[in-house]
Structure 1
């Protein structure tokens, strides 16, 4: 999202100094309402009234002397371990303020590859809390609390300098000097500009002090040149150009505040070197991911984000529903056309069949009965079994039973025979009636019965249903061999019913 698109969204931009709060309500990239409020009960009451119509996210930018910076090298950790480490550091450095943050500058490339961290805090919460409490009481969606040094980095990102000092002036706070090493924020100083002191007088007076301060902290290595970038208008540039002397220690460059204002679409541009609007618009354009506000401060902003996510999801669902409805309507229309086409083809087919039926010769049987008869005949023809196919297995079985003689064999089809498992019940069974007798068993009647039973089992194993209609003698529990002695002296006759159906 570019700057114009980001500023089209409604937002409330606040600039807080030690004794003053500037507020401006942005809409469509323009200031639609603004006000200045002193840090006293009357000023805070006026600010409360100013917030009455505000329903948009808020960004609070601070420019205070009481801002501390500490550079630390800490182990590279993730998850809960990292959170616990940061919590210990905050308790160690900034126990008295809730406005603190930790920024990862870089990860070292050698050794344990530890993290270079910048810990910072607004150390005088009494200057900030009253204004934050008002925002929370009015349920304003506070997106974050930021500082001028924190959002200065994008202004110098295109300058190739290892050691850079950015100087700016904000009307309500004073002269701000922010030092960067390899484009990483290291430290920043704010000096109030009092009375009749001009911007260029303050720069000339404080620049040498800052240089000596950086040397005392060993932030500027010996032999390195400090590049000084001064954000000012043309008049102050001319004054400073004549009063500052180039040296091997410091190199000066001037950033035209008018050009920066044009890049950020600030209208009208400032007629002096006040950079307040530049930092406010830079914050609106690209708010940093880290800031001084905690989760309690940003509670209503999270709700505002959730509301917009739900609205977006609802809109997406609504659009998807419209798309699905349109597709269903199209499919219904297509189905209706297809149904009409099928109905027309059905009528044409019916008409053609009626013409063919009308051309049939007159018969005593109905066409439906004839169709059923043809179907049955085709099925019978399909399952017509040649005698050789049904008799060959029986003949092969007889070859293994030499003591079994066949006297008579009859063959017929029957649809009333019981249907065996895994056979086709709608096909008539092929039924053989086998009459024969057993020979060479003398008086060993049990062996004769076992011999006949084994023959039946062999046929059953080949898919036949075998039923004994009569046996050589009655072997039931109620029968008596003695009573049948005359019968058993004659040939041992028997009758078997052998039936067969095609398998499934």
Structure 2
């Protein structure tokens, strides 16, 4: 709840005497109004609350009708454990929706069960008229708190817990609802009791007598063992401390400690000390705003609506701020880009002027500048991408080094994928198209321009190398001839980007061809010719 930043809050102190309305604003409390129980008081409360509209509200209940039960339950985790607590809580307090179960650790002995404190506001009729009035006005009710449970925050604020502090602590405070005594064991609330602060004659009750009764109850209920000292801490205005010191004398099992209200208010961060502990508890509630002690159910739906609305507003503000920052960055970038563009335009104009001034005294060139630039670009492309047979010849040479029995007869290198390799009139290194060369109509030679794609513009062109070779085996053996040719073809095919096709094998293995020879191994071997087509693609 603390994550939502609001300008002001309504804090309502509820007791059997009625409802007190306080306003929390800027970290300070101010009392607004008091309303008596009954129909007239509720109507006055509605009239008071209506102008405040959507101001979040928190109720601090300080009632006699608050019960505490300490139980040991089996240690069960997960959903089963939650269901066990819910069933036990339902069995203990059937008549009220304002109930709570708090696990306070585990037992030291036996099966180490969970130590559970069950608490409830046993008379919901004291609260419902006020909560129904808030629901009628759609006021966002954010939480229902117990004055006794909020005493835990007071113990923490006053630094009364710890190994070097009070293990068995009885915190005694005088409030509008009466005299409240809350018992803490190692900083955890175990029991709380609210009694009238004045007797039937209107005189203040004897605090020492009430502390003795509470100590006797704690001993009989085995919350406090016999012989264990109890530290009673009394919180009161400084003017009442002397009278309390006369009443409360240390005994063998009881030690009294007194804290002035001014000191407590200072530790809580209050500017002025309140007369009663109500203001101190309300200040702690407004400053911390912890999770609700008791569930509200449907009574808290307008608070959930309010939180969603505030979250949407906050998200919208963040989105608007992000958009503003993004727009500012874009505007700054646009200004920077515009400035850089203007500077570049000035530099371009200056360089153009310098170029014209440098070119003015020079004689006119035979070709325009654009043509010269294009020629340089073409020259660079030709130097980088023009087809050359050197790479294919290098690959062929390395393969022949591993096949000394094979000799080259002829090589035919062409640019292209080999589609025109069968044309006998093709010119090596050029497309096999006879229309590109030959005499014209008047008998003069005519040359057709070579397509740029065959020169490597805009990308490298495919190259074809027709290899005519012969195998010269050491002995007459057809298997050696075929193996030598196949080995050369396989070595070449392993080169990246190079494909190999056998145009004419060394031996014609077709079924219709007659294969003849002699088995005389001493007869000199005859060469066998074959043709390979190599195609290299970029």
Alignment partner of 1:170 is 2:170: no
* CA deviations over 1:137-176 (Å, ceiling 9, x no partner): 11111121112111112333322111111122223x2221
The equivalent residue for 1:66 is 65
The equivalent residue for 2:139 is 140
- TM-score w.r.t. the length of structure 1 is 0.73
Shift of 1:31: 5.1
Alignment partner of 1:195 is 2:200: yes
CA–CA distance in structure 2, aligned partners of residues 375 and 143 of structure 1? 78
Give the alignment of 1:36-75 within 5 angstroms. Answer: 36-54=34-52, 55-75=54-74
Would the aligned equivalents of 2:207 and 2:248 in 1 still touch at CA under 8 Å? no
CA–CA distance in structure 2, aligned partners of residues 400 and 8 of structure 1? 96
Secondary structure at the counterpart of residue 47 of structure 2: helix
Would the aligned equivalents of 1:7 and 1:28 in 2 still touch at CA under 8 Å? no
Alignment partner of 1:80 is 2:103: no
Q: How many residues align?
A: 445
Q: 1:266 to 1:466 in 2, by over 3 A?
A: closer
Alignment partner of 1:313 is 2:315: yes
Secondary structure at the counterpart of residue 454 of structure 2: coil
Would the aligned equivalents of 2:11 and 2:22 in 1 still touch at CA under 8 Å? yes
Shift of 1:69: 0.6
The equivalent residue for 1:473 is none
* CA deviations over 1:52-106 (Å, ceiling 9, x no partner): 1123111111121111111123345555334322211221111110001122323
Would the aligned equivalents of 1:26 and 1:33 in 2 still touch at CA under 8 Å? no
Shift of 1:224: 0.7
Secondary structure at the counterpart of residue 299 of structure 2: coil
Would the aligned equivalents of 2:180 and 2:192 in 1 still touch at CA under 8 Å? yes
The equivalent residue for 1:186 is 190
CA–CA distance in structure 1, aligned partners of residues 16 and 171 of structure 2? 21
Shift of 1:227: 0.8
Secondary structure at the counterpart of residue 235 of structure 2: strand
CA–CA distance in structure 2, aligned partners of residues 362 and 38 of structure 1? 110
Q: 1:133 to 1:424 in 2, by over 3 A?
A: same
CA–CA distance in structure 2, aligned partners of residues 467 and 35 of structure 1? 111
Give the alignment of 1:318-397 within 5 angstroms. Answer: 318-355=320-357, 357-358=359-360, 361-362=363-364, 364-369=366-371, 379=382, 383=387
Alignment partner of 1:34 is 2:26: no
Alignment partner of 1:254 is 2:253: no
CA–CA distance in structure 2, aligned partners of residues 207 and 429 of structure 1? 107
Secondary structure at the counterpart of residue 350 of structure 2: helix
Shift of 1:466: 12
Secondary structure at the counterpart of residue 52 of structure 1: helix
- Greater CA drift, 371-380 or 28-37: 371-380
Secondary structure at the counterpart of residue 50 of structure 2: coil
The equivalent residue for 1:417 is 432
Secondary structure at the counterpart of residue 247 of structure 1: coil
* CA deviations over 1:211-238 (Å, ceiling 9, x no partner): 2111110111122101111122234322
Shift of 1:25: 2.6
Would the aligned equivalents of 2:24 and 2:286 in 1 still touch at CA under 8 Å? no
Secondary structure at the counterpart of residue 98 of structure 1: coil
The equivalent residue for 1:492 is none
The equivalent residue for 1:281 is 283
The equivalent residue for 1:450 is none
Shift of 1:312: 1.8
CA–CA distance in structure 2, aligned partners of residues 268 and 366 of structure 1? 94
Q: 1:376 to 1:129 in 2, by over 3 A?
A: closer
Q: 1:424 to 1:49 in 2, by over 3 A?
A: same
Q: 1:302 to 1:75 in 2, by over 3 A?
A: farther
Give the alignment of 1:115-130 within 5 angstroms. Answer: 115-130=114-129
Shift of 1:250: 0.6
CA–CA distance in structure 2, aligned partners of residues 380 and 233 of structure 1? 101
Shift of 1:209: 1.6
Secondary structure at the counterpart of residue 53 of structure 1: helix
CA–CA distance in structure 1, aligned partners of residues 167 and 50 of structure 2? 47
CA–CA distance in structure 2, aligned partners of residues 22 and 64 of structure 1? 13
- Greater CA drift, 232-241 or 362-371: 362-371
Of 304, 317, 322, 1:302 maps to 304
- Greater CA drift, 342-351 or 215-224: 342-351
Would the aligned equivalents of 1:74 and 1:115 in 2 still touch at CA under 8 Å? yes
Would the aligned equivalents of 2:29 and 2:283 in 1 still touch at CA under 8 Å? no
The equivalent residue for 2:475 is none
Q: 1:32 to 1:401 in 2, by over 3 A?
A: closer
Secondary structure at the counterpart of residue 298 of structure 1: helix
CA–CA distance in structure 1, aligned partners of residues 465 and 291 of structure 2? 97
Q: Which runs of 5+ in 2 are unaligned?
A: 411-423, 434-451, 468-484, 505-531
The equivalent residue for 1:223 is 227
Q: Which runs of 5+ in 1 are unaligned?
A: 435-453, 469-497
Of 236, 241, 254, 1:237 maps to 241
Q: 1:132 to 1:185 in 2, by over 3 A?
A: same
CA–CA distance in structure 1, aligned partners of residues 100 and 466 of structure 2? 105
CA–CA distance in structure 2, aligned partners of residues 262 and 133 of structure 1? 37
Give the alignment of 1:468-483 within 5 angstroms. Answer: none
Secondary structure at the counterpart of residue 212 of structure 2: helix
* CA deviations over 1:302-360 (Å, ceiling 9, x no partner): 22222222222222222222211111111111111211222223233334444555555
Would the aligned equivalents of 2:463 and 2:537 in 1 still touch at CA under 8 Å? no
CA–CA distance in structure 2, aligned partners of residues 374 and 403 of structure 1? 40
Secondary structure at the counterpart of residue 21 of structure 1: strand
Would the aligned equivalents of 1:413 and 1:431 in 2 still touch at CA under 8 Å? no
